[in-house]
């Protein structure tokens, strides 16, 4: 009697149950997700990020922003994400799998050393503020523990009589005659942050408060699908 191969197979099967359950079955369920058409506007959701924002996602990944920032908002009634203003859609359900369809890699994050960024593009639309925050978080958020990302900026000398670069940030460059100018990486990163928004109402994210038959409420439910945010940093 040789029980070796049988035992081997049995242990392999026992271990493989989690593969079946957590890899194969979810893949069959959500692996084939496609864009969906939004009824009110006829647009497909989610749209792909514009090129510069996609480059920014690579900067976000390379510098490990996702070790301190999550990109997932918990539903109403579980934690207080929505109460903190991190929510996007006017629904009890917040982040859903559909929102991440095109992301590669998906960076949901696992810690909130900093605030959630899933909808930063909705609540902070000022690109200059975001750039200044990256350059020196103490300028924009006194007492923050975020490290400054000065290496994403260049200090460019300003000659006498020359007009400052249109990109120059309104921050102290440390010496007279210097201006702080964002690199392409910084601009791309901010474009990515501005593109982070999930406010579209989907079939599995019913509007909240529920729409009544009156016209104002119906328009409120449709309101989130307004025009897309500017993706290139202003100025």
Partner 1 sequence: MSATVSQAQAQTISPGCGMTAPEPSAVQVDASCRPLLLLFVSAAAWLLAASVIGLIASLKFHSPNILAGCPVLTYGRVRPAALDAFLYGFALQAGMGVLIWINCHLGRARLAVAPLLTAGWFFWNIGVTFGVLGIFAGDNTGYEWLEMPRYGSAPLFFGYAAIGIAALISFHFRSRRELYTSQWFLLAALFWFPWIYTTARALLTIWPVRGTMQSVVDWWYINNLTAVCFGFVGLGAAFYFVPKIVNRPLYSHYLGIFIFWTLALFGSWGFAPIAAPVPAWIPALSTLAALLTIVPMLAVAINVLHTLCGRDQSTKGNVTLSFVLFGAAAFVIAGLLNAVCSLANVSEITAFTWFDPARVQIFLFGFFAMTIFGAIYYIIPRLVPAGSLSPGLIRLHFWLGALGIILFAGPLLIGGLKQGSDLNNAGLPFLNVVQGTLGFLRASTTGELLILLGNAILVLNIVAMLVRVGRASATAAWAANSRKAEVAS
CB of 227 to partner 1, least distance (A): 25
- The total of other beta-carbon atoms located within 10 Å of residue 154's CB is 15
Distance CA 173, CA 149 (A): 14
Distance CA 188, CA 61 (A): 12
CB of 207 to partner 1, least distance (A): 18
CB of 180 to partner 1, least distance (A): 14
**120 and 193 Cβ atoms separated by less than 8 Å:** yes
Contacting range for partner 1; rule: CB under 8 A; set: 48-56, 99-107, 169-177, 225-233: 99-107
Is the Cβ of residue 41 or residue 110 nearer to partner 1 in the bound state? 110
Is the Cβ of residue 79 or residue 211 nearer to partner 1 in the bound state? 79
Is the Cβ of residue 18 or residue 227 nearer to partner 1 in the bound state? 18
Q: For partner 1, which residue of 36, 54, 96, 222 counts as binding (CB under 8 A)?
A: 96
- The Cα-based distances of 216 to 147, 199, 219, 222 in angstroms read 44, 18, 5, 10
Distance CA 221, CA 205 (A): 11
Burial class (CB in 10 A: 0-12, 13-18, 19+), 135: buried
Contacting range for partner 1; rule: CB under 8 A; set: 108-116, 162-170, 207-215, 220-228: 108-116
Q: For partner 1, which residue of 35, 38, 43, 114 counts as binding (CB under 8 A)?
A: 114
- Among positions 54-93, residues that touch partner 1 (CB under 8 A) are 61-68, 70, 72, 74-75, 78-80, 83-84
Nearest-10 crossing angle of helices 184-195, 127-135: 120
- Among positions 206-225, residues that touch partner 1 (CB under 8 A) are none
Contacting range for partner 1; rule: CB under 8 A; set: 22-30, 119-127, 166-174, 215-223: 22-30
Q: Is 177 near partner 1 (CB under 8 A)? A: no
Distance CA 46, CA 31 (A): 15
**69 and 115 Cβ atoms separated by less than 8 Å:** yes
Is the Cβ of residue 101 or residue 217 nearer to partner 1 in the bound state? 101
Name residue, tokens 């104002």: 216
Distance CA 49, CA 62 (A): 18
Contacting range for partner 1; rule: CB under 8 A; set: 6-14, 155-163, 208-216, 218-226: 6-14
- Among positions 128-167, residues that touch partner 1 (CB under 8 A) are 137, 141-151
């Amino acid at each position: 009697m040789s029980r070796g191969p049988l035992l081997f197979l049995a242990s392999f099967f026992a271990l493989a149950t989690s593969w079946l359950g957590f890899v194969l079955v979810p893949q069959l369920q959500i692996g084939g997700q496609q864009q969906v058409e939004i009824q009110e506007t006829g647009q497909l959701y989610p749209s792909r990020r514009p090129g510069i924002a996609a480059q920014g996602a690579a900067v976000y990944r390379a510098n490990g922003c996702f070790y301190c920032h999550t990109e997932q908002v918990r539903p109403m009634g579980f934690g207080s994400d929505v109460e903190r203003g991190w929510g996007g859609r006017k629904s009890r359900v917040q982040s859903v799998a559909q929102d991440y369809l095109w992301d590669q890699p998906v960076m949901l994050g696992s810690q909130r050393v900093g605030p959630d960024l899933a909808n930063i593009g909705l609540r902070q639309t000022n690109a200059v503020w975001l750039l200044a925050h990256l350059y020196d978080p103490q300028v924009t958020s006194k007492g923050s523990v975020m490290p400054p990302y000065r290496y994403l900026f260049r200090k460019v000398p300003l000659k006498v009589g020359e007009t400052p670069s249109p990109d120059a940030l309104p921050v102290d460059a440390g010496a007279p005659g210097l201006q702080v100018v964002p690199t392409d990486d910084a601009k791309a990163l901010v474009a990515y942050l501005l593109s982070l928004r999930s406010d579209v109402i989907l079939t599995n994210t019913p509007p909240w408060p529920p729409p009544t038959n009156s016209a104002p409420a119906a328009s409120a439910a449709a309101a989130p699908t307004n025009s897309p945010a500017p993706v290139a940093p202003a100025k």
